[in-house]
Amino acid sequence: MPPHPETWLKVLPEGLFCEPGGFFIDPPGPVPRAIITHAHADHARPGHGAVLASPETMALMDVRMGEGRSGAQRQVLPYGEPITLDGVRVWLQPAGHVLGSAQVAMEWQGSRAVVSGDYKRVADPTCMGFEPIACDVFVTEATFGLPVFRHPPALGEAARLLDSVRLFPERTHVIGCYALGKCQRLIALLRQAGWDGPIHLHGALIPLCQAYERMGIPLGELRPATVAAKAELAGAIVLAPPSAIADRWARRLADPVVCLASGWMRVRQRAKAKGIELPLVISDHADWDELCATLTEVDAPEIWVTHGREEALIHAAEQQGRRGRALRLVGYGDEDDAGVEAVPGETALGGKVVA
Ligand SMILES: [Zn+2]
Ligand SMILES: [Zn+2]
């Protein structure tokens, strides 16, 4: 009988560890050998000994951390190409979260575990779609693991933004969006929704947009948003990191309409407390329906939940006849939430969400 994944894939203080392979997956601190699912800061830390990731993730880590800072030895592994690490067969499969994001599939002595990293199931023009892999244990996130979280179609959210731009042609629309993934997806969505004019970028967003374009993701005409040219930005669409939309930088724009693109914009009180005039519910994480559908599709007898709202998802897994387990891994935040700290008293989310 194949060994149970619990005997070879372990939760150590340093993170999720594949013992026979001798590697960690997305460890929160430097380790001798790491496999990285994607380049968001809570999954990709600098300073490992050996690091393995998809070519796109490696390139994005170089942009974020500085060339070669992710690890002393760096190895890229394209999707679907298996390698063997000390007897463990390992391959990467698209996770649909951001460019380069990968699920890590591992097989040891006939036992198969898949670590999804962060993922979503809806189409995203800036990255390859999630590919389900049948397995014995599926390790999933649960960032939006409550039935109240249902993301509307993202293209409709982009169209709402363009409606507002047409309604207020003299105002500057400034949209807070996370620098890696959300920003480029929002640009691609605006192009799909029919906006072919320039899109202006806060300086912090420019290097990652350039990296996406180098890797073959066209984003159309992008211009730096210099607040000095205030008049020029009247009627413009300006993208900025979430932390910049509330500060003086944004207030100096022409009568700004402050927007934020995040799955958390489903929670109206969050948008209100942050002074967001136009909340856009756009998320790179699976919503409740996507999470539940994924459990059915990969059809693993066991579901391990890394972080997020694990209780409801574990309950749903158990109702499907699967064993659920909360790993409670530390160190993972939610990139969507960077610069948008939780509203005090909001942690009892269930009671306060406007569904
Ligand atoms: Zn992520
Ligand atoms: Zn994450």
The predicted model scores a pTM of 0.93
Number of helical H runs and strand E runs in the chain: 9, 19
Between strands 237-240 and 199-201, the pairing is parallel
pLDDT by position in tens, the chain (length 355): 999 999 999 999 999 999 999 999 999 999 999 999 999 999 999 999 999 999 999 999 999 999 999 999 999 999 999 999 999 999 999 999 999 999 999 999 999 999 999 999 999 999 999 999 999 999 999 999 999 999 999 999 999 999 999 999 999 999 999 999 999 999 999 999 999 999 999 999 999 999 999 999 999 999 999 866 778 899 999 999 999 998 888 888 889 999 999 999 998 899 998 899 999 999 999 999 999 999 999 999 999 999 999 999 999 999 999 999 999 888 887 666 543 333 332 322 222 222 2
- Yes or no: say if 198 and 317 are a contact pair by the CB < 8 Å rule: no
Distance (angstroms) between ligand 1 centre and the Cα of 97 equals: 7
User: Nearest CA to 146 among 270, 324, 289, 268?
Assistant: 289
User: 156-183 as b/e, with b when 16 or more CB fall inside 10 Å?
Assistant: ebbbbbbebbeeeeebbbbbbbbbbbbb
Distance (angstroms) between ligand 1 centre and the Cα of 232 equals: 34
Which residues are placed with Cβ below 5 angstroms of ligand 2, an ion? 42, 118
Question: In order of start, what are the domains of the chain with their CATH numbers?
Answer: 5-148+284-343 (3.60.15.10), 154-280 (3.40.50)
Distance (angstroms) between ligand 1 centre and the Cα of 331 equals: 12
What does the block give as tokens for 321? 């006849």
Distance (angstroms) between ligand 1 centre and the Cα of 129 equals: 15
